[in-house]
Amino acid sequence: MKKTLFIIFLLTLGCTFTLFAQDAKKEAETIKTKMDAFSSKTGTITKFIDTKLPNLKTSYSSPETRIRKISNTNISAYFYQIEKEGKYSNNTASIEYSDLLEVIKALSVLKVDESKDIALNPDYLENKFVTVDGFQIGYFVSKGKSTWYIKLEKYGSDNTVFINDVNIVEAAFTEAKNKIEELKK
């Protein structure tokens, strides 16, 4: 009887350890942005070429902007970058060319929706466009007034830029698109 109880005890103890045992640590899979996926290819030479654009005029800061061309072997990609200096680090949005085209289209739709959303007079309303990489542009309506913003990165803090005049941002995006098309030639 003692042997049976002892065996049951060992089996129960073994099952308990098995339940609480952790699997071997797997490398955490992080979701890569288009910039990360293109610039982190191993076994190839990667070249970065920046072309500065005028700073973006926003409510509380003046983020730097540039076009970044990344070349690997025979392939190149172009990104519009907006970099906001933070207290402890910088936040950078890297908008791939095809995403930039989508942002420009979405921005024109958002501009049309803005007056309709203000007329609704909601307690709070938010209307935004988000790229695959987590870049956001949009506005929120509160107390009968809209406030435009850009969220540079998907995660983190101090990565939001508030906009006084959305037309200035739209012009900056269009200028970036035109510069990329010029550089592609």
pLDDT tens for 35-67 read 766 666 677 788 999 999 999 988 888 899 999
What are the tens digits of pLDDT across the range 65-83? 999 999 987 789 999 999 9
For residue 78, list its beta bridge partners: 69
- Strands of 3-144, DSSP E: 46-53, 64-72, 75-85, 90-96, 125-130, 136-142
